[in-house]
Amino acid sequence: MQSQPRPSMKEHRQPDAPVPVRVCVRLRPCSKDSEPCVRGLDSRSLELVNWRNAKETFKYQFDTFYGDTATQQDVYCSSVQPILHHLLQGQNASVLAYGPTGAGKTHTMLGSPQQPGVIPRAVRDILHMVREAGCGPDGHNCSYSVSMSYLEVYQEKVLDLLEPSGRDLVLRETPDRSIMVTGLTEQELSSFHDFEKHFLLASRNRTVASTGLNSRSSRSHAALVLRVAQSRPLVPARSAKLQLVDLAGCEDNRLTGNCGLRLRESSVINTSLLVLGKVVDALRLGRPRVPYRDSKLTRLLQDSLGGSAHSVVIAHVAPEQRFYFDTLTTLNFATRSKQVVNKPFAPGALPEPAAEKTLQKENSDKQKQSTSKEGPLVAEKPLGALLPLDQLEPSLVQRVLRLEELERQQGAGHRGLPLLGTPKAERKALLRCLEETQAELEKMRQQQKELEAKELLRAASTPEPPQAIVLPMRQVPIPQKRAPPTEDEGILVLKRRSDPGGTENAVPSWELTRCQELMVRGHQKLLELLNQGSTRELLSLKRIGPRTAELIMAWREQHGPFVTLQDLQRMETMTAKKVATLIKANTLDCIQMLLPPGPSALSLFS
């Protein structure tokens, strides 16, 4: 590894303030047999060919743009290394690698022995920072520890990679609104050799497979969590975490040729990335609800996007023409991510060593001055009542006011007198007065509780007798409910009974018959809504919630329209029983959409 500047502990520390997510774009080198559709303009800008008009281009600007000649060290030193010092201040940090499959995300995060990526460089620097902080002039009474956890999100399951068990781990939110993974293995790190030993073994447990675009395609989202804990005597300990996330790539199954398990994995990956885009949109637009819980990935990244972390998103794009729409989608996501603002903070922040020394000096000076100056026997500011006065009995209020007046008189009477001979005698006198006052107030509080208990007991023992209310008799019409039909039964409709031998004054009669045609038309209308309806129209259907509506929209984008209603069973979480219930619940509503309003609807079948 080439030598690189280490993060300094002496950097200027600004007060906590909202910080936008830093977004960088890295361009992978173009293959020899393809023409590029992306071109860099400068260190921050690039342009993409307009697919509607080849003579025009889309221009994008980000915090940093890395061309195809940028090295691993360039990416790390300018984007990742500057946020590491926040860990020693108790603030979280995150690095996310985003982009389509085969764009170079894993290369940026892991690299190779000759060109190490973000993860090994960050671990080496964090261990160096901790040693430097512990050996510095202010670190003699402060100890640091570094630990690591490694997990993957595969098929919407959170799996431990350090000690794989196949068990889906649970995500929970702590009181400070950060996300923790219960049961996740955590390994202590004392050297870079320890990290290599644990990480290399855990990396073999990550789910990878060969596809049409990548021989080692990541089939899951992986996250390495480095936790830096800081402890100091007599002060609460604090910790911060660095999340290094290698996201699985969005895939176009027409290019990858996925089928079977690979197709299902691709569907779950694309759905989770779709939810990630919705989270970014909700944050930048300031919507009241952010859909973190719609996916395990977004729930895990709640600290990184819109949370309390210093976040960096490294978007990866491929220059070849066949990746054009993937590149366009990635650049649009990166543009929206620039508008997300995080609010970093350090829970349980520790005072700076210099500030501690200044505070100790001021306290010692005040103590010296107190032994040579005059002062009152008791505090000039009277002690306030422990309970609001309006909640006490009038007699107790008078006693509280008399006590406060007595305290003021004692303070005024002794203001001109010198203190007692020694500070010890003064403290004893103050403590004696305080104990007497507190004992009196405690006695009044007990009396108030007794009075309240007696009042509640009296009210409970004499309940008001219930009074019966007799309403006048009235006729209530009983609504007629039509039982939901099944496919075998058809739809019950009223038809005029044919009477060939009728007379001129005969009264027309009606009969209930089953109409299979209405059932077929209702199913066709439901299938049309599922294939062409918007998200709002899908949510208006019964038995379809936001999660199912998103799955239907994603299915239509990837596989085209449904041929029959039974094709719903091919979607994830949709069983034959659920599909039958959905069809049964919505058939009548779809038929109502087809029929004209009013009684004339019956004339269609008369």
Q: Output the known binding site for ATP.
A: 99-106
Separation between Cα atoms, residue 377 and residue 385, nearest integer Å: 20
Separation between Cα atoms, residue 178 and residue 227, nearest integer Å: 13
Stretch (H or E) spanning 136: none
Separation between Cα atoms, residue 345 and residue 199, nearest integer Å: 29
Stretch (H or E) spanning 194: helix 192-203
Amino acid at 389: L
Stretch (H or E) spanning 577: helix 576-594
Q: Token pair of 234, please?
A: 């007599």
**With contact defined as beta carbons under 8 Å apart, do 558 and 267 qualify?**
yes
> What residues pair up with 58 in beta bridges, in sequence order?
48
Separation between Cα atoms, residue 59 and residue 146, nearest integer Å: 42
Phi then psi for residue 367, to 5 deg, are: -65, -40
Q: DSSP state, 36?
A: B
Separation between Cα atoms, residue 493 and residue 588, nearest integer Å: 12
Question: How would DSSP label each residue in 476-501?
Answer: -PPPP-PPPP-TTT-EEEEEEPP-TT
Side-chain-side CA neighbours of residue 477 (13 Å): 3
Separation between Cα atoms, residue 26 and residue 314, nearest integer Å: 7
**With contact defined as beta carbons under 8 Å apart, do 496 and 516 qualify?**
no
Binding region: 99-106
**With contact defined as beta carbons under 8 Å apart, do 373 and 365 qualify?**
no
